[in-house]
Amino acid sequence: MHLSLFLAATALFLVQPAPSTQPEATSLFGKPLVSAPPTGDTKTRLEGDLAKAQADFDRDPSSADAAIWLGRRLAYLGRFRDAIDVYTRGIAKHPNEPRLYRHRGHRYITVRKFDEAIADLRKASQLVAGRKDEIEPDGAPNKAGIPRSTLQSNIWYHLGLAQYLKGDFRGALASYQEGMKVSRVNDDMLVATSDWLYMTLRRLKRDEEAKRVLEPIKEQMDVLENGAYHARLLMYKGLRTPDSVLNLNTADDVQIATQGYGVGNWYLVNGDKPKAKEIFDRVVAGKAWPAFGYIAAEADLRRGF
């Protein structure tokens, strides 16, 4: 699961943080990044989930599954440093458990530690080599309650992302090509990997190959949770306009974070750098800093594209 989990978690970051809250990360421009506490029903649900995960872990601290779920529940509450610590302690006990490296690598991306993320996700890819892929259980299920992502597709997806954020587009291309081999399991995984693969190829000016990535993308697809990726791919294919995918006049921080980078990058690779910068600036002016699109916009602005 990719986008739906982000959408569920991002709402936590739109409330003003308490003044005493410690930063979870530092932006690529040196700005402290603070997670805001959830409120209302969301707070009750997420804290209840965390309490159960903590109890399960306390009952069996040697369990890799318990460590993974404790880390995931902490991260859903914006406690990324605590999640990374749980995964690190889990890895000390289970050095050959690929899921722990996969989840820690994900959260290293969130806190802008790209080299550490790449190392973890490469390790995870080595550990799953030759194994049968497996569905990953959802922490924030889609409306149908059907898990869509897999361990191996998530490993390659996040590895490619970390490399992309570093500006290593060739490395990202190799990872996304590997990821595509395990992303045809359903349309949600197909559109998630295809989106970043397309953007990577466009950044490498391999436009004909990028067009071929779009061939399987249709208006009607069995997409349960990655609708934003699907919409962007339809835009790349010329079936949607940029304004229909992202209207800067009406979009909120979450929408700008989830759609802004894809639309901004589309303008960039099609030669409109001022428009791309306008959108990237809007993305990083928002509060949804854990979003991958936010991090990518931040990385591009930091590098000057």
Region 244-258: mean pLDDT is: 87
Q: Is residue 116 part of a domain?
A: no
Q: Report which of 287, 270, 268 is spatially closest to residue 278, judged by C-alpha positions.
A: 268
pLDDT given at position 2: 54
Region 25-49: mean pLDDT is: 95
In this predicted structure, the answer to whether residue 180 has a pLDDT above a threshold of 50 is yes
Q: Measure the CA–CA gap between 84 and 80, rounded to whole angstroms.
A: 6
Q: Is residue 11 part of a domain?
A: yes
Q: Is residue 272 part of a domain?
A: yes
pLDDT given at position 255: 85
Helix (H, G, I), strand (E, B) or coil at 122: helix
**Threshold 0.75, pTM exceeds:** yes
In this predicted structure, the answer to whether residue 98 has a pLDDT above a threshold of 50 is yes
What is the secondary structure of 251-300 as a DSSP string?
--HHHHHHHHHHHHHHHHHTT-HHHHHHHHHHHHHSS-TTSHHHHHHHHH
Could you list the residue range(s) of the whole structural domain that residue 301 is in? 1-37+243-305
pLDDT given at position 7: 43
Contact (CB, 8 A) for 151 and 95 = no
- Cβ count within 10 A of residue 270: 13
Percent of the chain with pLDDT over 90: 85
Q: Is residue 279 part of a domain?
A: yes
In this predicted structure, the answer to whether residue 12 has a pLDDT above a threshold of 70 is no
Query: How many independent structural domains does the chain possess?
Result: 1
Percent of the chain with pLDDT over 70: 93
Q: Report which of 269, 215, 207, 259 is spatially closest to residue 239, judged by C-alpha positions.
A: 215
- Cβ count within 10 A of residue 122: 17
- Cβ count within 10 A of residue 222: 9
Helix (H, G, I), strand (E, B) or coil at 32: strand
Q: Which residue has the higher pLDDT, 133 or 37?
A: 133
Alpha helix (H) ranges present in the chain? 3-10, 40-59, 64-76, 80-93, 98-110, 114-128, 151-165, 169-181, 187-203, 207-213, 227-236, 242-245, 253-269, 273-285, 292-303
Identity of the residue numbered 7: L
Q: Is residue 257 part of a domain?
A: yes
In this predicted structure, the answer to whether residue 9 has a pLDDT above a threshold of 50 is no
Q: Measure the CA–CA gap between 229 and 263, rounded to whole angstroms.
A: 11
Region 87-97: mean pLDDT is: 98
Judged by average pLDDT, the poorest of 3-17, 32-46, 98-112 is 3-17
Q: Which residue has the higher pLDDT, 3 or 168?
A: 168
**pLDDT tens for each residue of 255-300:** 898 899 999 999 999 999 999 999 999 999 999 999 999 999 999 9
**pLDDT tens for each residue of 72-88:** 999 999 999 999 999 99
The angle at the Cα of 114, spanning 112 to 119, to the nearest 5 degrees, equals 140
